[in-house]
Amino acid sequence: MKRMHDSLIVQTMSQLLIPLAQLFALYVLFFGQYGPGGGFVAGVIWTTSMILTFLVFGLKSPQGRFVEKMLHGDGLGLIVFVGVGGLCLIGGGEFLNYAHLDIPGVDAPARRYIGILLAQIGVAIDVAVTGISIVLSLAYHDTEQEYDV
Amino acid sequence: MIYAVNIALLLLLLVTAASATFLVKELMSSVFILGSYSFFLALVWAWLGAVDVAFVEAVIGAGLATVLFLITLFDTAPKDSRLRRPPPPLAGVLGLPLLGILLLFAANDLWPFGDPTSPPNIHISPVYLQQSFADTLTPNVVTSVLMDYRGFDTLIETVVIFTAGIACALLLREPGR
């Protein structure tokens, strides 16, 4: 886990599969209002692709550094979600009432679409960062070290 | 005809995987069989028409949970991985099948699946199904219920997930990392 996987087959297959999984996550995220899926599923699929990345390439590789950088986004998803609700408040409506999202030049369906999409992006970021954070804490938990409780 | 056979086969696989998870002698094999169980369960969800739930079950149950279990197993000593199971108590062997039969008997009184006159289907679902597009202008009813009618629910769920992540990081990471 801490360094790159030895097998060339695993590396090549992961290079092929990881972008595919990420593309599918984005598809599920942006298509969630027309088909099954949404923010939660998109975030979880993104998490699995990131876990595969650091299991195969290790945390020292460029891809692994990106995984570690994603941890800095902890709480960003909540800010996005609550921020959309706040924008609706500023627009003169209730909290999370996307009809009052005050964006000039867009009609009502597009307004709803943008509001729900931003909220879904918030959920996806939150879920993805949380999943990566849990797995990284488990994987880098040093068992040799004694705890002084 | 073939459809019905498929469903019976799927349920048989599900029950087999579930019991094999408990009966197998090694934790590593148990984890993999649990992953396959989640995958079969995802197929059942898809058959029932709940594609969203099938998505989540396949990704979390078969993917994420398996990885979490495996990473935890790698951290434990190899001697902990083998299981010595004591024989099950007689009360459990006799009582649990009886309980199962009782539950199956009680399940007879449930409404048939997909019945339009069952209480869950006449309470608030028709309102959502008929008015969601006029209210929220979103084609997918599931999304409009999740993100629009019940946006507060989803917000608080997100807060719960966030809290879980923070708690795991606090418990598992050494200070200074």
ipTM: 0.84
Name the minimum distance, in Å, from the CA of B92 to any CA of chain A. Answer: 35
- Among partner residues A28, A116, A137, which is closest to B138 by beta-carbon distance? A116
A69 near B CB under 8 A: no
Helix H or strand E encompassing B16: helix B2-23
Rounded to whole angstroms, the Cα distance separating B97 from B111 reads 24
Place of tokens 């921020």: A83
Mean pLDDT, chain A cut into blocks of 10 residues (149 residues total): 77 92 93 85 93 86 86 89 90 84 81 89 93 85 46
Helix H or strand E encompassing A29: helix A8-30
H-assigned helices in B48-145:
51-56, 65-75, 90-107, 119-123, 125-136, 141-143
> Cα B123 to chain center, whole Å?
25
Query: Looking at residue A148, what is its pLDDT?
Result: 39
A29 near B CB under 8 A: no
A27 near B CB under 8 A: no
A72 near B CB under 8 A: no
Query: Looking at residue A145, what is its pLDDT?
Result: 47
- Among partner residues B159, B161, B172, which is closest to A137 by beta-carbon distance? B172
Query: Looking at residue B22, what is its pLDDT?
Result: 83
- Four-point Cα dihedral A71, A72, A75, A81, nearest 10: -100
Average pLDDT rounded to a whole number, residues B17-37: 89
Of A28, A74, A133, A147, which to mutate for an interface test with B (greatest number of B Cβ within 10 Å)?
A: A133
Of A87, A106, A137, which to mutate for an interface test with B (greatest number of B Cβ within 10 Å)?
A: A137
Rounded to whole angstroms, the Cα distance separating B86 from B88 reads 6
Q: How confident is the model at residue B81 (pLDDT cuts 50, 70, 90)?
A: low
Residues in chain B with CB shorter than 8 Å from the CB of A95 are: 152
Who contacts A82 (Cβ-Cβ below 8 Å, separation ≥6)?
A122, B155
Of A65-74, B27-36, B115-124, highest mean pLDDT: B27-36
Strand, helix or coil for residue B26: strand
